[in-house]
Amino acid sequence: MDKFRFILSGGGTGGHIYPAISIANELKQRYPNAEFLFVGAKDKMEMEKVPNAGYKIEGLWISGLQRKLTFKNALFPIKVISSLLKSRNIIKQFKPDVAIGTGGFASGPLLKMAERAGVPCVLQEQNSFAGITNKLLAGKAEKICVAYSGMEKFFPKDKIVLTGNPVRKDLVAIKHDAKAVKAAYGLDETKPVVLVLGGSLGARRINELIETELSFFRANDVQVFWQCGKLYEQDYKKYNSEDVKVQAFINEMDKAYAMADIIISRAGAGSVSELCLVGKPVLFVPSPNVAEDHQTKNAEALVKKNAALMLKETELEGQFEPAFKGLLDSKEQQATLSRNIKRLGMPHATTAIVDEIEKLLK
């Protein structure tokens, strides 16, 4: 009997959507006849990404509170009530065996109504600082799968399972030869490569930093493989040259990771989990524009374990060059950071989360 029905909700950002899709894929592998339904926020990226991954999705009229007083905030209570009523109908019609929430606004009303209907709920928290939706839902959840230790300050201790974050399977083992990949991209295979990652849309402050430091990289014989993001491609593609390769989006991340000697990255939960598996020296530049400054907290969790370096955006101007040069010149520091970040990798996170979900089906 594997005609189970699974309802999943998580969205707003890739950090919530991709873990939910990974969990659904693993469940589908174990239960090929199972039925799946995703629930997201009407105007967010999940409405496109989830159908692209082959799953049905229903949209709720929900969004977060704005930090300023706006008309949207006045609509917030109405949106919540509307989303709770629609969630109740969805649960009634779909009759799920388990509800899974990976964070984001839509998962609040859906899991609240699932729990009220007696459906067992599993939460997955990607960050080292728990999101508001998961904190509100934690009391009634059966299990809370987390990626960082020390999460009992947010959640009931007896419900927490340390599983890690689901990541793309192709990144778990780097199978490419660094020199061959450098050559394929037209780079000098004898010189180091810094890989710059700002997320799929790009990170304005990281892009500005790289633009400013191109002559510094050249002076230190460092080549730059620069993912600037779709929003910034027109501004930065003029820097394409023998030792600088600018891409809006990197399709072959496994190859990019293989040739990287040092990585500069944002510190979103998905990126951090991925970089732990990659095991290269990383300098994190957390985005300050996210809820509860969770990217800084994600990066700090690694810095405490001597597994990465971190500079806040406000520190870049005076501290970037000495920090980067220190890392570039010290093979010992590179090896230490690589070794320590790799220890934190959890390649079997998706399997571990689905094992917990399976226990609720028995």
Q: Which helix (H) or strand (E) holds 219?
A: helix 204-219
Establish whether 67 is an annotated binding residue.
no
DSSP 168-204: -GGGSS--S-HHHHHHHTT--TTS-EEEEE--SS--H
Establish whether 15 is an annotated binding residue.
yes
Establish whether 131 is an annotated binding residue.
no
Residues ≥6 apart with Cβ < 8 Å to 45: 11, 12, 13, 14, 17
**Side chain identity at 207, as an amino acid letter?**
N
Establish whether 326 is an annotated binding residue.
no
Establish whether 295 is an annotated binding residue.
yes
For 275-291, letters b (16+ CB in 10 Å) and e give bbbbbbbbbbbbbeebe
User: Residue 57 burial by CB count (10 A; 0-12/13-18/19+): exposed, middle or buried?
Assistant: buried
Establish whether 139 is an annotated binding residue.
no
Residue with tokens 């996170």: 349
φ, ψ of residue 199 to 5 degrees: the values are: 85, 165
Q: Which residues are 5's β-sheet partners?
A: 35
**Side chain identity at 298, as an amino acid letter?**
N
Known binding site: residues?
13-15, 127, 168, 200, 250, 295
Residues in the annotated binding site for UDP-N-acetyl-alpha-D-glucosamine? 13-15, 127, 168, 200, 250, 295
